[in-house]
A and B are shown apart, each in its own frame.
Chain A
Amino acid sequence: MGPNHGDDGPCRWVLLAYRMPREPSRPRIAVWRRLERLGVARLGDGLVALPADARTREQIDWIADEIGEAGGSATVWLATPSATGQEQQIAAGMRAARAAEYQTVIDEARAASGVSAGERSRVVRRLRGELRRITRRDFFPPRERDAARAAVEALATSESIEAVTRKERP
């Protein structure tokens, strides 16, 4: 599911250019949420991008239709950045956004290490779901990903989270 990245150049992106009426706000917010969930890079006002693969292209197509049904307008494009540097900048932004999400998981796992066994297993279940959701929109994995997985598994097996997350640091 990762980006279609060759070593020799920039990858292909799917771009969604869209406009939606300000009111009613509900469909506008629904679209915003779905785009967030997909982990899009926001390139400008009403312009978002994702590395193109079968799943991202299909999801973006459906969102474009949804925007049309809500009285907005949307076009979907396949694009290649003209300079690799640009792409790296966008990828770095996406990586940082995911890193922050993984870090929240690490912090929550750490905070739950002292609670009762029953409460801890509830937190483990929730954090595993959260990890799955983040990983799904993680196109340029930051190193926090492995640390977050290790922290949640440590919480599941009651290992010391400090010990596993320390191991992950370079």
Chain B
Amino acid sequence: MKWATRAGVHIDRAACAWLIRRHIDADAVFVFVTDPSAMPADATPFDMRGVDLSHHGGDCTFETILRRYDLTDPVLWKIAEIVHEADIDDERYDAPEAPGLDVILRGLSMVCDDAQILRLTGPLFDGLYEYQRRALLLNRPPA
């Protein structure tokens, strides 16, 4: 399936791309558009103004996708808190990891193109998932 989002990806779009590929569509192909009207007709848009898979009711797009696809994995919801704070920074959640992740993604966007960012952040979110999974099982930060 083809998925489309705005070019110049930051935390929310990078995390969503990872989420889509790992939990929704393993064969996902991502397209980055600079102008929303240039959206390919066969693509599912996300994290763009006025589309369904986007910010809603104070949620970031990562949270919206979890809701729309009924993903209830608590580890993903923990990551959603971090992504939410890194993206919106409204202190809805206590996510001390967020400012660090925000800086890492902003830095990457200065030296990489969008496809490269997705390649690099894939393993980053895999690691974050594994860390949060262990933290949840142990009920404390894993060593």
Contacts and interface: CB of A to CB of B under 8 A. Distances in A.
**Are A and B bound to each other?**
yes
Interface string B1-27: 000000010100000000000000000
A30 interface: yes
A54 B55 contact: no
B8 A69 contact: no
Given A30-B58, A132-B99, A65 B90 contact: no
B58 A64 contact: no
A69 B56 contact: yes
Contacts of A65: 49-50, 54-55
Interface in B95-129: 99
A87 interface: no
A66 B55 contact: yes
Nearest to A1: B106
A136 interface: yes
B90 A61 contact: no
B50 A69 contact: no
- Secondary structure of the B contact surface, majority rule: loop
B88 interface: yes
Chain A CB within 10 Å — which of B8, B50, B56, B88 has the most?
B88
B105 to A, nearest CB: 11
Given A65-B50, A132-B99, A34 B10 contact: no
Nearest to A70: B57
A64 B49 contact: yes
Nearest to B99: A132
B89 interface: yes
A62 B99 CA distance: 19
Contacts of B88: 59, 62
A34 B90 contact: yes
A19 B18 CA distance: 36
A54 B8 contact: yes
Contacts of A136: 89
Contacts of B50: 65
A54 B34 CA distance: 13
Contacts of B49: 61, 64-65
Contacts of A69: 56-57
B90 A37 contact: yes
A107 interface: no
Interface string B68-94: 000000000000000000001110000
A131 to B, nearest CB: 12
12 contacts: A30-B58, A34-B90, A37-B90, A54-B8, A54-B10, A59-B88, A62-B88, A64-B49, A65-B49, A66-B57, A69-B56, A136-B89
For the complex of A and B, 5 pairs with smallest distance between CB atoms: A62-B55, A61-B49, A65-B49, A65-B55, A34-B90
